Structure 1
């Protein structure tokens, strides 16, 4: 086979592999949505929005299908958030006040993605960007591109081994 022929074959293989990878992105996204709720993990979450930067220590335990989470806000006013399933207890150490409330569809990091992805599938397409290291872990990078101008575009970094969401950014201005 000639050199141009070999190059065409290699290019075709690369394009087929890329198309195959993009077809399998929704199962990867489903794995990411489930990992945040099913795995046990502990780590530091950094939230950045404009001039606001906050760090939160996260501990998540799933014991026989029951989820327990403890989030400790490490910046500014001391505060801890405990949850079991949909029940949330917020402890504000400043005034020794405890607030108990029901979660209202609020998804805390890393459980940002809904477990039912059908609405996302209807409104977004996925694009594989590549792999990067985040927090010392190899992550696959996927863009969620909206099908219209009514939604934001997101970039998602999920752990290649476990599927856990490691980083998420809104890309629109």
Structure 2
């Protein structure tokens, strides 16, 4: 039975029940219904966008067509096969030429992205290779020279000689300005001499930092971005290339090295903060590599000072450290420990480039409370578990704090 005021739908043009106007033959998504719909009766009308269709029957009012988002077109299928029924015809909402152009643009974009990633990986690999060369050159080559060290408005001159003998590093570093201080590295340890005050301190050799170079470089790449600039430049009178080392987080500073193009020795080294400001830099003004290097072995008295005392050597053989560290800054690891017979201990941490020293001793007297800065070196002191802790390194203060807070008695 028909409802009052509503006439049966015409077989030529469907009418809207609410407005009594012809229903549009163009969907909001751009698809068109086939013209034959209005020429002859049909049992079912369907377009690419339609999921529920109106089936006209005698004595029933028309219902609004419910539209949904078009089904996604799958690659490899024809445009007409998208329709649910083979008998239904549809017109794509986007011209075929535009679709072909868009597909080509996507392929081109993917190819460019792949090339970019490939080029970035190759550049990173080349930069890591030069970083490895630099580390090996610093520790394995024989060289001698004078360089300047600048922090702020202060400039100091230093002399260095480095040699390898029987697989051991021998090195002497002498201050050319101010008090005649020097640091001597021998087979067993490193001695710091201050002749006027007659203070001589000896610590063990930190050879553990250079172990496992391949894994060390991998860790460096995780926490630093390396950029190699092989443009021709001249530093300290020698051909050089530039290596930028940028931190990936806030727990470390950045570096800029001008490397000797032949030996990979760092002719200029710059420490940069997070804003790109220079914290410190060293620059060779005179450098000799290879033969004709001043032998350190002739000064036996100086090398004798680098021998670790028997008591310290015996204590250093302890199998386990007295402290453990949990929650270290990302990338940093413990590489050496130097215990002493007075109960104090010296720990060294590194991420492959930056080094941090932690001194732990009984809290007999407060050495440092809070932060302090000497040149480019930051220091942080605190008391934990009844022990004075002093952390020192050329790293951000947050890193020093995290190192101290990670210490726990074993």
| TM-score normalised over the length of structure 1 | 0.76
Q: 1:35 matched to which residue of 2?
A: 137
1:165 counterpart residue number: 266
Q: 1:45 to 1:128 in 2, by over 3 A?
A: same
Tell me the distance in 2 between the aligned counterparts of 1:25 and 1:85: 32
Aligned residue in 2 for 1:156:
257
Larger Rg: 2
Structure 1 residue 127 corresponds to structure 2 residue 222: no
Query: How many angstroms apart in 2 are the aligned matches of 1:103 and 1:147?
Result: 32
* Greater RCO, 1 or 2 (C-alpha within 8 Å, sep 6+): 1
Matched residues in 2 for 1:129 and 1:34: separation?
20
Q: Deviations over 1:53-80 (max 9, x none)?
A: 1111000001231110011100011112
SS at match of 1:31: helix
Partner of 1:138: 239
Decide which structure has greater strand share: 1
Structure 1 distance, partners of 2:152, 2:205, is 25
- Which residue is equivalent to 1:23? 125
Q: Secondary structure at the match of 1:25?
A: helix
1:86 Cα shift?
A: 5.5
Aligned with residue 102 of structure 1, among 189, 196, 203: 203
Alignment RMSD: 2.9
Tell me what 1:117 maps to.
217
Q: Which deviates more, 81-90 or 24-33? A: 81-90
Give CA deviations for 1:9-67 in whole Å, capped at 9, x if unaligned.
xxxxxx9xx75444311011011011100000001121111122111100000123111
Shift of 1:102: 0.9
* SS across alignment from 2:182: strand
With over 3 angstroms needed to count, the CA separation of the structure-2 counterparts of 1:60 and 1:169, relative to structure 1, is: same
1:44-123 aligned at under 5 Å gives the runs 44-85=146-187, 87-95=189-197, 97-103=198-204, 115=213, 116-123=216-223
Secondary structure of the corresponding residue to residue 117 of structure 1: helix
The 3 A distance-change label for structure 1 pair 84 and 104 is: closer
Residues 152 and 171 in structure 1, CA contact (< 8 A), matched pair in contact too: yes
SS at match of 1:24: helix
CA distance in 2, matches of 1:85, 1:35: 18
Gaps of 5+ in 1: 1-14, 107-113
Is 28-37 or 127-136 further displaced after alignment?
127-136
Gaps of 5+ in 2: 1-115, 278-410
In the alignment, the residues of structure 2 paired with residue 72 and residue 24 of structure 1 have an alpha-carbon distance, to the nearest angstrom, of: 34
